[in-house]
Amino acid sequence: MKAFEMRLPASLEEAIALLPTAEGDESSRLVAGGQDLLTELKHHLVEPERLVNLKSIPGLAGATWGSDGSLTLGALTTLQDIYEDERIVTTFPALAEAARSVASPQIRAVGTIGGNLNQRPRCWYYRAEEMVCLKKGGRECFSQFGRNKYNAILGAGPSWIVHPSDTAPALVALNASVEIVGPNGKRTSSMQDYFTLPSSGNVLRETTLAPNEVLTRITIPAPAKGSKSTYLKFKERSSYDFAVGAVALNLTLDGRKITAARIVLGAVAPTPWRVEEVEARLIGRDLNDETIELAREGALAGAAPLSENGYKVPLTKGLITRAFRAISRS
């Protein structure tokens, strides 16, 4: 690993002033729990001269409940603190289940929600030091015609990465928003719009965050009366692993009738993949097998698998079925 300077800013303003202003300038990087960034440093994927440690800034960790029932999480809240909070477990089960499904207990104890949302892709080609793929400034995405078992089947091109975060689909399903602070002050974004597709302009990034901006808080609105949520993840081994398919589901029911729906797929697209046109078709329908089939088939209708990842289509359909049935039974 290349030697670097570690800075411990006392405020957000100080941290932001230490970050690069130009796109592609990697001389300075934010670090939170370090569980993703340290791997990148050890594998020489990035070699910044300076790390800016967010943990020295007060007020960025912990959960705060609004009088309206909304939840605000500081970016430094650990994944463990999320799923060990009983009120989060009962109010936003999808988030608690997603946080609990990440990696191992050791990683969840130090890994933060801000780091989880901003972690970089796990694609083999991106993670291999010697491969200069599109995501690292190269000319092509090698997974399109190479080894692509874990790559995208929806929304992809010119890069076929999948977004690796477990909490991101859950937060999009829960209609969360994020607070971002930069040199010109604060801005907010929906969680959904925070993530960007490789086709939308900058293939080097997975989010709309500028190099000198910091994600500071995540807010989830109070759940509507009758709403229920869940997160299901499939991984290849029972030990810690990234998802090969996932679904976050948030349904609002009036009796058996669906009055609102958010379905967000994980590990199948370069961003958390929301299927809004399918959601719209569910409104007013009873939650029954026919409705579940409509959701399952509609959600994967646009899938375009590569040579080795066609299995993700039936796998994800199975997860969708199980998520709907879990909510139906609860």
Buried b (16+ CB within 10 A) or exposed e, 225-245: eebbbbbbbbbeeeeeebbbb
Burial of 46 (0-12, 13-18, 19+ CB in 10 A): middle
Closest CA to 323 of 97, 165, 150, 104: 97
Q: Is it true that the peptide bond before 198 is cis, omega within 30 degrees of 0?
A: no
Show the site string, 1-30: x = touches ligand FAD by CB under 6 A, - = not: ----------------------------xx
- Distance in angstroms between the alpha carbons of the first and the last residue of the chain: 49
In the complex with ligand FAD, the residue whose CB is nearer, 74 or 298, is 74
53 touches ligand FAD (CB under 6 A): no
39 touches ligand FAD (CB under 6 A): yes
- Contact indicator for 273, 168 with CB cutoff of 8 Å: no
Show the site string, 222-241: x = touches ligand FAD by CB under 6 A, - = not: ------------------x-
- Contact indicator for 175, 221 with CB cutoff of 8 Å: yes
Q: Which sign does the torsion angle of CA 82, 84, 87, 89 carry?
A: positive
170 touches ligand FAD (CB under 6 A): no
111 touches ligand FAD (CB under 6 A): yes
264 touches ligand FAD (CB under 6 A): no
Question: Residue 43 Cβ, how far from ligand FAD at the closest point, in Å?
Answer: 11
Number of residues counted as binding ligand FAD (CB under 6 A): 32
Q: Beta-strand (E) ranges in 121-244?
A: 177-182, 185-190, 214-220, 227-234
155 touches ligand FAD (CB under 6 A): no
102 touches ligand FAD (CB under 6 A): yes
Question: Residue 216 Cβ, how far from ligand FAD at the closest point, in Å?
Answer: 7
268 touches ligand FAD (CB under 6 A): no
Q: Which residues bind ligand FAD (CB under 6 A)?
A: 29-37, 39, 54, 75, 79, 102-103, 107, 111-112, 114-116, 118-120, 164-166, 209, 214-215, 240, 242
